[in-house]
């Protein structure tokens, strides 16, 4: 790392002790932007990097709620409003027991550059809670969401901060959150949250957008190498929102998805994942993947407690959680013929894994670029809400596809410009950074 950046990074470590995921996310960006500082001394003069690494505002709050038996529980809620140089803070809410400030900050930091890459007017933020929705009844989830929003509502708004979903927060939770916001404020302010249901201001394609967008991005990477999804063996990790729609689009584009996973293990289905069955189990019944194997037939086995990355594939789309592909996984994947990786999740590949993929010449699409279709479609939802309009599925999907093509094109051009052809990590970090840095310079010392 460039000497100046290394000292900034040391400072980040000192000021944010123990927040290892945040350190990892910062390090990856700082490792890419050294050459930009050479071309733009004004960024260093104005301490843009130091400012970008410090959130504009961090909110931590108590979330008390009662379960169905009347027992009281206390969770912790977070919203990190990281950077609003390009627009209102924008980014999802994660409900998962592992959530703490370091996770929310890594996600918020990534979001700054991802949102910038979309070319749309959205700043970066993220939030969530250590609440575990697993095993909770619908009424418990509703009470939790209502309590969470009873504090969050004073910090958000169409022009301030616009949350959405992430792990553990889907359409159901967004509905409960929006309902409580509307009740407290007495305002039907649709632009305050995205990922809403279609009956109350949601946008077509937002549910599908992250997974579809990731498939479109991988399609572009494959096209750039003169190939396509056609007939390729694909593994997608996870079986949540991003994974399900990544599988759907890959299948439509001619790929064959042979494995997916959840936090308990994975299934291999050589005939190709049966999407209807997967949706029924995961989205309707909110069940476990083990049930998929039990119902699908003898050719499918559920493999408990192991990583899906031991299944050979030509294309990998990690769509579960951070740091799921280790260096060892990556080495094995390269050895068994993986030619492209599109990160549906945020930071799912460890730094060692990324290094191995890049050195092996694998087309590696980092999350900031490859999964930006979700937040981009959220920005389209905001556009529709602001103009009291609603677009068709076809129009919105077309727009998403164009956005993903543009992001791919800019990553390629920027990597070329900086002498690192084919390096989408450098392309995404540099292009995402430049736009935010220029806006910050224009806005003065704020």
Ligand X SMILES: O=C(O)CCC(=O)C(=O)O
Ligand Y SMILES: NC(=O)C1=CN([C@@H]2O[C@H](COP(=O)(O)OP(=O)(O)OC[C@H]3O[C@@H](n4cnc5c(N)ncnc54)[C@H](O)[C@@H]3O)[C@@H](O)[C@H]2O)C=CC1
CA angle 197, 202, 207 (to 5 degrees): 70
Q: Applying CB under 6 A, does 346 fall inside the site for ligand Y?
A: yes
Catalytic residues: 126
The tokens for 244 are: 């399900």
Task: Tell the burial category of 211 from Cβ atoms under 10 Å away from its Cβ (0-12, 13-18, 19+).
Answer: buried
Classified as helix, coil or strand, 73 is strand
Q: Which does 91 bind (CB under 5 to 8 A by kind): ligand X, ligand Y, none?
A: ligand X
Q: Which does 321 bind (CB under 5 to 8 A by kind): ligand X, ligand Y, none?
A: ligand Y
| C-alpha distances in Å from residue 94, one per residue of 178, 314, 439 | 16, 30, 28
Binding residue for ligand X, selected from 91, 102, 240, 342, defined by CB under 6 A? 91
End-to-end CA distance of the chain: 27
Q: Applying CB under 6 A, does 366 fall inside the site for ligand X?
A: no
Supply the DSSP symbol for 318: -
In which residue are the tokens 């791919």 written?
408
Nearest to 343 by CA among 323, 359, 361, 314: 323
Stretch touching ligand X by CB under 6 A, among 11-19, 28-36, 84-92, 289-297: 84-92
Nearest-CB residue to ligand Y? 240
Binding-residue pattern over the window 97 to 126 for ligand X, x denoting contact by CB under 6 A: -----------------x------------
Q: Do the Cβ atoms of 110 and 367 come closer than 8 Å?
A: yes
Stretch touching ligand X by CB under 6 A, among 132-140, 293-301, 374-382, 431-439: 374-382
- Asked whether residue 180 is marked as a ligand-binding residue, the answer is no
Q: Applying CB under 6 A, does 365 fall inside the site for ligand X?
A: no
Q: Applying CB under 6 A, does 342 fall inside the site for ligand Y?
A: no
CA dist 108 and 97 (Å) reads: 18
Residue number with CB closer to ligand X (204 or 378): 378
Strand partners, 26: none
Residue 206: CA count within 13 A, CB half-sphere? 28
| Chain-centre distance for alpha carbon 193 | 16
Residue number with CB closer to ligand X (90 or 435): 90
For residue 261, the minimal CB distance to ligand Y (Å) is: 6
Binding residue for ligand X, selected from 378, 384, 385, 414, defined by CB under 6 A? 378
Alpha helix locations (H) across 387-423? 393-417
Binding residue for ligand X, selected from 147, 346, 384, 423, defined by CB under 6 A? 346
Alpha helix locations (H) across 186-270? 206-224, 241-252
Q: Applying CB under 6 A, does 203 fall inside the site for ligand X?
A: no
In which residue are the tokens 């123990």 written?
18
Q: Applying CB under 6 A, does 403 fall inside the site for ligand Y?
A: no
Q: Which does 242 bind (CB under 5 to 8 A by kind): ligand Y, ligand X, none?
A: ligand Y
Residues of this chain that interact with ligand X (CB under 6 A) are 90-92, 114, 164, 166, 194, 346, 371, 374-375, 378
Q: Which residues are annotated as a binding site?
A: 90, 111, 114, 165, 210, 241, 378
Residues of this chain that interact with ligand Y (CB under 6 A) are 165-168, 170, 210, 238-243, 261-263, 319-321, 344-346, 371, 374
């Amino acid at each position: 790392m460039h000497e100046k950046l290394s000292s900034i990074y040391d400072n980040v470590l000192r000021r944010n002790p123990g927040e290892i995921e945040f350190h990892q996310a910062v390090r990856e960006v700082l490792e890419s932007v050294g050459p930009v500082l050479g071309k733009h001394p004004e960024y260093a003069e104005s301490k843009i990097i130091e400012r970008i690494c410090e959130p504009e505002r961090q909110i931590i709050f108590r979330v008390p709620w009662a379960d169905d038996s009347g027992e009281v529980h206390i969770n912790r809620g977070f919203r990190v409003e990281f950077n609003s140089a390009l627009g209102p803070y924008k980014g999802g809410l994660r409900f998962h027991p592992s959530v703490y400030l370091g996770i929310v900050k890594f996600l918020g930091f990534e979001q700054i550059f991802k949102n910038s890459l979309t070319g749309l007017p959205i700043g970066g933020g993220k939030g969530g809670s250590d609440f575990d929705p697993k095993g909770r009844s619908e009424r418990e989830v509703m009470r939790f969401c209502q309590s969470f929003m009873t504090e969050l509502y004073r910090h958000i708004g169409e022009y301030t901060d616009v949350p959405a979903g992430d792990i553990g927060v889907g359409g159901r939770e967004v509905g409960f959150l929006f309902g409580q916001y509307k009740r407290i404020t007495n305002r039907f302010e649709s632009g305050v949250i995205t990922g809403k249901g279609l009956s109350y201001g949601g946008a077509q394609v937002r549910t599908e957008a992250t997974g579809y967008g990731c498939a479109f991005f991988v399609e572009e990477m494959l096209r750039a190498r003169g190939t396509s999804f056609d007939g390729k063996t694909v593994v997608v990790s996870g079986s949540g929102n991003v994974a399900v729609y990544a599988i759907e689009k890959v299948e439509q584009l001619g790929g064959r998805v042979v494995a997916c996973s959840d936090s308990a293990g994975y299934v291999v289905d050589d005939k190709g994942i049966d999407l209807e069955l997967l949706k029924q189990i995961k989205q309707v019944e909110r069940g476990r993947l083990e049930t998929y194997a039990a119902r699908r037939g003898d050719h499918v086995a559920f493999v408990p407690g192991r990583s899906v990355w031991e299944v050979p594939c030509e294309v990998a789309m990690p769509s579960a959680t951070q740091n799921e592909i280790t260096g060892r996984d990556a080495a094995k994947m390269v050895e068994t013929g993986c030619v492209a990786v599109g990160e549906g999740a945020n930071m799912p590949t460890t730094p060692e894994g990324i290094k191995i993929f890049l050195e092996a010449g694998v087309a590696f699409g980092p999350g900031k670029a490859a999964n930006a279709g979700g937040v981009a479609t959220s920005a389209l939802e905001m556009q529709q809400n602001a103009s009291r309009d609603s677009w068709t599925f076809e129009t919105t999907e077309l727009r998403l596809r164009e956005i993903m093509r543009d992001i791919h094109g800019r990553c390629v051009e920027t990597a070329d410009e900086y002498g690192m052809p084919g390096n989408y990590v450098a392309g995404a970090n540099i292009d995402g950074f430049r736009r935010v840095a220029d806006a910050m310079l224009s806005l003065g010392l704020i």
